[in-house]
Amino acid sequence: MSLPINTDNRSHLIEKVSAMAHRGMDSVRDTSHLLRVKAEHASDSTVNYVKDEPIKSVLIAARGARGTGELGPFARSQLTL
């Protein structure tokens, strides 16, 4: 059973949908801004850490590269399955 849609109902539905769309767009904009701020903070923190602890930074990077190298053959073998 469907409800009859008259002009008043249609206008009300359009207003509700429009309000929901605006809230959704506002939410996306706010989340996007928050992610940019967090990414900037992470980048600044990383730069400061590298400046403060250059040797540890190189060791951490080397460890990460080694770990990636160790996973490389596994990842490639999974692609061929």
pTM beyond 0.85: the answer is no
State the residue range of the domain holding 53. 7-79
In a domain, 2, yes or no: no
Query: What confidence tier does 66 reach under pLDDT thresholds 50, 70, 90?
Result: confident
In a domain, 41, yes or no: yes
9 CB contacts (<8 Å, ≥6 apart)?
3
Q: Residue 73: inside a domain, yes or no?
A: yes
User: What's the total number of domains in the chain?
Assistant: 1
Residue pair 68/61 in contact (Cβ under 8 Å)? The answer is no
Cα 69 to chain centroid distance, Å, stands at 26
The model's pLDDT over 46-61, given as tens digits with 9 standing for 90+, comes to: 999 999 999 999 999 8
- Asked, for residue 33, whether it belongs to a domain, the answer is yes
Cβ contact 49:57 at 8 Å: yes
**What pLDDT, in 10s, does the model give residues 19-52?**
999 999 999 999 999 999 999 999 999 999 999 9
- Whether 1 is in a domain gets the answer no
Q: Give the span between the Cα atoms of 25 and 17, in whole angstroms.
A: 12
11 inside domain: yes
